[in-house]
Structure 1
Amino acid sequence: MTQEITTTDRTPISKTNAPVIEIKDLYKSFGKNEVLKGVTLTVNKGENLVVLGKSGSGKSITIKCLVGLVEVDKGEINVFGTDITKLDNTELNEIRIRIGFLFQNAALYDSMSVRENLGFTLKRHAKDLTAEELESQIIDVLESVGLSEAIDKMPSELSGGMRKRIGLARTLILKPEIILYDEPTTGLDTITSREISELILEIQKKNKTSSIIITHDMPCAKHTSDRIVILKEGVIHVEGTYEELEKSDDEWVRSFFI
C-alpha cells in the first residue's frame, strides 16, 4: 500500500493543477517475471515527478507502457483524460505526438548530422513547413539547449552531455506537453549532470511541461523534482517531496538518500 506523506513546507502542484497522467492498478509481466503489480500514480499539469527504485523495479517499463511501447497486462493509463490502453495505433499516435521521450542513449541517428536529426523528426510531423521555417525551428531549439554551434556536427563528434542535449532538442522540437526522461544524467560527470538537471527545470518553467523523470541520480532527483515516488516490488511504496522522504521513518526509503 502506498504510504502517503503530507507536504508541510510548500503547496504541492497536485493541489492546484489537474492530472495529465493517471495510471491505475497497472500490471505487467514478462513470462513468470512480474514487474508491475498494481502501480498507481498521477502526474499533475506542470509537475516534475521523479520515479526512484532499485534496478529491475519497473521504472522504465512504466513509462514505456505510458507511450504504448510495451503492452500492459491489466490496468488503466489515462493521458489527457483518455485511456490509451483502449486506443488503436492511429489514435495512440495522436497522443504520442504530444509526449516527448528522452531515451538513456539519446537515440540519435548516427548517419545524420544534428541538423538532419532534428529536421527528420520535425518533417515527419509538420510536412507543410518551408525550408526557411524548418531551419528557423531547428536553430531555435538548439539555442534553447545551448548548442547552436553543433548544428553541422555528427553524433560521433559530440560528448555524452552534448548528445543528451541534442536528444532533448529533438524531443522539444515537437513542442510536447509531457516529457518522459529515462535516466537523463546516466554516464555523465557531475558538472554535466548538474547542467542537464538545470535544463530540465528551465524547460519545465519555459514550456510549462509535465514530466516523469526516471533516475538513480539523487542530486538530479533533488534538483528537478516537485514530488518523488519510489517503486518497490512492483508497486508505489511511498511518495512525497525529496525533503520529506529523506527524513522518512522507513529505513529502506532512507537508504536512497545516503
Structure 2
Amino acid sequence: MTKEINSAIKDQMTTVDQTVIEFKNVYKSFGNNAVLRGINLSVKKGENLVILGRSGSGKSIAIKCLVGLIKTDKGKILVSGTDITQLNESELNTIRRRVGFLFQNGALYDSMTVRENLTFTLAHNNKELTADEVESSVVESLENVGLAEAINQMPSELSGGMRKRVGLARALIIKPEIILYDEPTSGLDPITSREIIELILEIQKKFKTTSIIITHDLACAKLTGNNVMIIKDGVIHAEGNYESLSNSNDKWVRSFLT
C-alpha cells in the first residue's frame, strides 16, 4: 500500500493544474463542541490558500486533520487523490514525509542546537543519507531562510523571528510538496512579519510548493494568498481573492477584513 501511495502521489503531482488537497464534507467535534461542520475546500498545485476565521473557528484543527494528527468524524481528506482518513499510521507517515509544517511557535527542541534540530528531522525522514549529505542539506535549508550563521546556536539565543525562520528551514529540509503554516507571523513585529511574508512568497516561487496558511494577520493574508477562505460556524462562509472579499456584499465578510 505504501509503494502504491508513493507512486500515486508522484503521478498526480505531475498533472498540470492538479488539485493537491481536497476536503469533502469534513466534520469534527470534541464532545458537544462541533468545530468543523462540513468543510469543503480544494488547493491546486503551487497555490497558497489562506484560511481566516475567529479564534476557535477550527482553522488549526483543519490542518491537523490534514496530516492525521486529529481524526475526523466524517468526510474525506484527499492528498493527491489519496483519502488520508482511510490510512493506517504507517501509510500516513508516507504522506507526512511530503508535508512541511511550520508550527505557530516554531516548536524547536530547546535542548538541541539549530543544526541538531534540522539534523534530527532529516534523519527521521530519510535514514539513508550520509553524514556529509545531512550536513549539506542542513546548511542549504538554513541558507534558504537566510540563517546559515545561526547553525550552532541554541533556540534560546534566537529572536522570535529567527525561531520562525529555523522552523521554516526545518520544514523545508525534507523537500516537501506541501507546506502548512500555522500563524507564521504571530507574535512578530511588523518588520519581521513582513520578512516572513516575503520568505513565504520566495519559497512558493522557488520550490513550487502547495501551501495552506492559517493566520489572523490580514497583511499576511492579502500578500500571500492566491485564494482566501473564511471559516464561520464550522463551514467555509466565503471564498475568493483578498480584493474580491474586501468588496463583498456580505457585511460580515467586509467587517472581518477591516
Shift of 1:53: 0.5
Query: What residue ranges of structure 1 are gaps of 5+ in the alignment?
Result: 1-15
Query: In structure 1, what is the equivalent of residue 197 of structure 2?
Result: 197
Match in the other structure for 1:33: 33
User: What residue in structure 2 maps to residue 114 of structure 1?
Assistant: 114
State the distance in 1 between where 2:129 and 2:28 align: 40
Partner of 2:62: 62
1:154-189 deviations in Å (ceiling 9; x for gaps) = 000000000000000000000000000000000000
Secondary structure of the 1:25 match is strand
Distance, in Å, in 2 between the alignment partners of 1:221 and 1:169 is 21
Structure 2 residue aligned with 1:243: 243
Which deviations, in whole Å up to 9, do the C-alpha atoms of 1:169-225 show, x marking residues without a partner? 000000000000000000000000000000000000000000000000000001100
- Is residue 2:206 matched to residue 1:206? yes
Residues of 2 paired with 1:108 and 1:25: CA distance?
34
- Give 1:90's aligned residue: 90
Instruction: Give the counterpart letter for 1:44 in structure 2.
Output: K
Residue 165 of structure 2 is aligned to residue 172 of structure 1: no
Q: 1:141 — aligned with what?
A: 141
For residues 186 and 120 of structure 1, the distance between their equivalents in structure 2, rounded to whole angstroms, comes to 25
What is the aligned partner in structure 2 of residue 7 from structure 1?
A: none
Provide TM-score, normalisation by structure 1. Answer: 0.93
Determine what percentage of the aligned residue pairs are the same residue. 69
**Structure 2 stretches lacking a partner, 5+ long:** 1-15
More displaced 10-residue stretch of structure 1: 100-109 or 127-136: 127-136
Q: Which has the higher contact order (CA 8 A, sep 6+)?
A: 1
Give the AA of the match of 2:223: H
In the TM superposition, residue 150 of structure 1 has moved relative to its aligned partner by 0.2
SS of residue in 2 equivalent to 1:34: strand
Q: SS of the residue aligned with 1:202?
A: helix
Task: Show CA shifts across 1:49-69 (max 9, x none).
Answer: 000011111000000000001
In the alignment, the residues of structure 1 paired with residue 53 and residue 153 of structure 2 have an alpha-carbon distance, to the nearest angstrom, of 36
Instruction: Tell me the alpha carbon deviations over residues 92-134 of structure 1, each in whole angstroms, 9 at most, x when there is no partner.
Output: 1101100111110111000000000000111112222222111
Q: Distance in 1 between matches of 2:161 and 2:75?
A: 36
Which consecutive aligned stretches of 4+ in structure 1 deviate over 2 angstroms post-superposition?
none
Structure 2: how far apart are the matches of 1:28 and 1:137? 38
Work out the CA distance in 2 between the residues paired with 1:50 and 1:194: 16
In the alignment, the residues of structure 1 paired with residue 125 and residue 248 of structure 2 have an alpha-carbon distance, to the nearest angstrom, of 46
For 1:124 and 1:55, locate their aligned partners in 2 and report how far apart those are by CA, in whole Å: 33
In structure 2, the residue matched to 1:223 is 223
Displacement, 1:256?
Answer: 2.1
Which residue does the alignment assign to 1:187?
187
Letter in 2 for 1:148: A
SS in 2 for 1:56: coil
Counterpart AA for 2:22: E
Greater mean deviation of Cα atoms: 124-133 or 226-235: 124-133
User: 1:255: which partner in 2?
Assistant: 255
1:125 is matched with which residue?
125
Cross-structure match for 1:105: 105
TM-score (norm 2): 0.93
Counterpart amino acid of 2:87?
L
RMSD: 0.7
